[in-house]
């Protein structure tokens, strides 16, 4: 069982090369004190517990809502926990009825290109799958081969969503500077479909005026159709104060920044999940025709579109199917 024993939190600098660019980050190692398997306040994530393998994320997506969380360590800072596998094993042992699946990761990415994070994600997923507990995930990272081999032996209880909102890697570098290239994400989809694993592409967030032209949606659908994927989850950028601040800090092109934010001046304030969590969506009279156009375009490629009801609950009540229902019968493949 993987366990990094720590007397106190340790921090060190790490340089990682991504797509020819060297990214420097501050990596902190600590023990997690609070519960690992936690419920989410989002309606789409209430049915299964979730796991975050880190606080902070190397992908540094400028629109990530976790930047507003109290435990967010700041851009360029990542905290990983050395005792997660041990905690997961202990928490599962205390449960009278284990969950049918666990979701990775609501506030980070399980496939960040950091050895310690990948090792942790692998051990956590292996522990769950060996106990016949499903693994469900969303990622904008590159899935290493050892995970694919693991998934191939438990394919009936593995499902994933691969985030791609635009096929232009230049735009990706602005919005998701540390995430995998679009080509690597397409490879993810192809590999998972080849293994007969339930896969959905997630175009979330689309950004009005930047990633949602008719041509861009057609190009995205063409790439998806070529892989054989049949499901597309869709939602537009949901603006919160921390996201607005992140956009202002990370997008140097001020005209582009003004274009993105300007659409939200007359936006719709929407409550999301439980408590006081809320944000601003594009005005409903803008979103409605945009989603209708996307539905029609997607349908022409033989793909089904699912609008995220959590972030569009003023106009739709459907699900983006970020998690999947429990499957029956014998669930694992032994060869």
286's CB contacts (< 8 A; 6+ apart) are 208, 263
Q: Are 31 and 84 in contact (CB under 8 A)?
A: no
Q: How confident is the model at residue 157 (pLDDT cuts 50, 70, 90)?
A: very high
Residue 14: per-residue pLDDT:
72
Give the mean model confidence (pLDDT) for residues 150-169: 97
> In the predicted model, is pLDDT for residue 4 greater than 70?
no
Q: pLDDT per residue over 199-208, tens digit each?
A: 999 999 999 9
288's CB contacts (< 8 A; 6+ apart) are 315
Q: How confident is the model at residue 5 (pLDDT cuts 50, 70, 90)?
A: very low
Provide the token pair at 295: 């539905």
SS3 203: strand
- Across 60-197, the runs of DSSP E, i.e. the strands, are 77-81, 101-104, 134-139, 158-163
Average pLDDT, rounded, for the chain: 90
Q: What is the pTM of this model?
A: 0.91
Please give the Cα distance from 163 to 127 (Å, whole number).
25
Q: What is the CATH topology of the domain spanning 14-307?
A: pyruvate-formate lyase- activating enzyme (3.80.30)
Residue 328: per-residue pLDDT:
60
Neighbours of 175 (CB within 10 A): 23
Q: pLDDT per residue over 301-331, tens digit each?
A: 999 999 999 899 999 988 888 888 887 644 4
């Amino acid at each position: 069982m993987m366990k990094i024993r720590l007397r106190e939190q340790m921090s060190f600098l790490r340089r990682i090369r991504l797509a020819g660019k060297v990214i420097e980050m501050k990596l902190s190692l600590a023990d997690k004190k609070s519960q690992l398997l936690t419920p989410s306040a989002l309606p789409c994530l209430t049915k299964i517990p979730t796991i975050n393998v880190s606080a902070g994320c190397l992908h540094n997506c400028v629109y990530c809502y976790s930047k507003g969380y109290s435990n967010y360590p700041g851009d360029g800072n990542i905290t990983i926990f050395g005792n997660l596998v041990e905690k997961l094993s202990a928490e599962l042992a205390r449960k009278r009825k284990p969950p049918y699946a666990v979701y990775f990761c609501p506030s980070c990415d399980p496939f960040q290109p950091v050895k310690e994070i990948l090792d942790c994600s692998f051990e956590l997923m292996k522990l769950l799958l060996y106990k016949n507990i499903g693994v469900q995930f969303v990622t904008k990272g590159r899935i290493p081969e050892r995970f694919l081999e693991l998934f191939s032996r438990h394919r009936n209880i593995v499902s994933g969503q691969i985030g791609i909102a635009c096929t232009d890697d230049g735009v990706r570098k602005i919005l998701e500077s540390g995430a995998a290239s679009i080509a690597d994400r397409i490879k993810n989809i192809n590999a998972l479909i080849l293994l007969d694993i339930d896969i959905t592409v997630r175009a979330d967030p689309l950004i009005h005026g930047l990633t949602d032209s008719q041509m861009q949606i057609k190009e995205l659908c063409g790439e998806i159709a070529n892989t054989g994927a049949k499901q597309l989850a869709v939602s537009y950028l949901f603006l919160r104060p921390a996201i607005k601040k992140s956009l202002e800090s990370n997008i140097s092109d001020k005209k582009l920044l003004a274009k993105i934010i300007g659409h939200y001046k007359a936006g719709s304030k929407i409550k999301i999940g439980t408590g006081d969590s809320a944000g601003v969506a594009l005005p409903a009279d803008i979103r409605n025709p945009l989603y209708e156009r996307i539905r029609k375009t997607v349908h022409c490629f033989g793909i089904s579109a699912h609008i995220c009801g959590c972030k569009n609950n003023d106009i739709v009540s459907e699900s983006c199917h970020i998690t999947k229902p429990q499957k029956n019968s014998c669930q694992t493949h032994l060869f």
